[in-house]
Amino acid sequence: MSDDSGGTGDGDASAILIPLHEARRERLEPVRFDRRELDQILRLYGRMVAANEWRDYAIDHLTDRAVFSVFRRASEVPLFQIVKDPKLARKQGAFAVIAAGGRILKRGQELGRVLGVFDSKLKVVEA
């Protein structure tokens, strides 16, 4: 006598059908930087690497936000995090720059303006 159930006791237990539209709805897509946003961030990163300020980066695509972290050394905590959080888009702005201590340096709707926090300010120097 042979048992065709594979040890489960019920041959139909593993054959659960889920309609495709329900599976797509339940699957949570991670938040990502789009091509334009990533281009702006990487342009800034290239400038800062050339200035010997930053040396490494990491990109995290989480279910609620996307994070671009910059490091001076890979073994350290990130110096800054550039965060895209779509839940805050209508309130405070989807983009934020966060310092190492967790302090929000700038937040806004437009990534270009938020990244402006890294632009060097001109200073008057007395001779």
pLDDT in tens, 14-60: 677 777 776 666 656 788 888 999 999 999 999 999 988 899 999 99
Prediction pTM value = 0.71
Residue 73 has pLDDT above 70, yes or no: yes
CB atoms < 10 A from the CB of 63, how many? 8
Q: 83, exposed or middle or buried, with CB in 10 Å at 0-12, 13-18, 19+? A: buried
Give the pLDDT of residue 44. Answer: 93
Q: What share of the chain is helix, strand, coil (3-state, %, to 5)?
A: 25, 20, 50
| 85-127 pLDDT per residue, tens | 888 888 888 899 999 888 999 999 999 999 999 887 656 667 6
